[in-house]
Amino acid sequence: MGLDKGFGSTQFSSEMKIYLDGKFVDDSEAKVSVFDHGLLYGDGVFEGIRLYGGNIFRLDEHLERLEYSAKAILLKLPHTRQEMSELTCETCRQNGLTDAYIRLVVTRGVGDLGLAPWLCPKPSMFIIASKISLYPKEHYDNGLSIVTVPTRRINPAALPPTVKSLNYLNNILGKIEARQFGALEAIMLNDQGYIAECTADNVFIVHKGEIVTPAASQGALKGITRSSIFDIGRELGVVVREADMTRYDVWCADECFLTGSGAEVIPVVKLDGREIGTGQPGPITQQVLASFRRRVLVEGTRI
């Protein structure tokens, strides 16, 4: 199976309706200006959100993170949280979807050439709701084989990883390298050599009955799915904690799994050709995945 059939592609319909700056338009009419600073400079923020069985998983938490990201870059959102919640739900309803991947984007808006954000008088917001192709089922059953890539995560002191901005070039370079190494996903280290996260997912290991994940201070995004693992740990009676992690910790772990809005919870059985644990998805990972799949239907907002 080629890598093109792996996670990351959305399936677009010619009938798709997209919310764009106050109205719903056909996808063919959904356009932004070439002078939009989101396009010119990656100046904007976004959220990737999931709809399961008519339930938008942890929508309020996603919108809160969007607000924090916008506040951090001094970007004034065009709508209140309640308005954005309703617009997100309506986008799903307009497209007749009960299961979908939602992309909510706010850009700095149209402005002059040049970096000055104060020359952009009005932000732009659009919402896309469509189906998404996840990792193939066989990888949930048998686990992923991932690699470590040379591209390092940006130092949190330079760009806080908690800001989910439109500039994903760092992650894209890591994703390109993963493909070059024949993998669907890859671990990215920070400038000190500690594990930060994967190109699109958070990293967890299981060691001696505990679940461990890198701290945000090491360059990890505070993922919404990531935060749910702490709740699941309490449900299962398993300690979940943050710690500095190196590749050694993954090599010697009993289990490893990744989390993300797209990936959900997916086991990892190899890193850089080294088997992790038994080389098969472990029992705690399987319990976490089962609990997560129950939660997505009830934790969130009904459309």
Question: Of 33, 65, 38, which Cα lies nearest the Cα of 49?
Answer: 65
Q: Going by C-beta distance under 8 Å and a sequence separation of 6 or more, which residues neighbour residue 296?
A: 50, 52, 53, 55, 57, 264
- Cα(274)–Cα(148) distance, integer angstroms: 11
Asked if residues 64 and 7 have their Cβ atoms less than 8 Å apart, the reply is no
Residue with tokens 């916008």: 70
Coil/strand/helix, residue 18: strand
Residue with tokens 């990531």: 226
- Active-site residue list: 164
Burial (CB < 10 A; 0-12, 13-18, 19+), residue 113, is: exposed
Angle between helical axes of 224-236 and 59-72 (0-180°, round to 10): 130
How many residues appear in the chain? 303
Kind plus residue range of the DSSP H or E element containing 186: strand 186-189
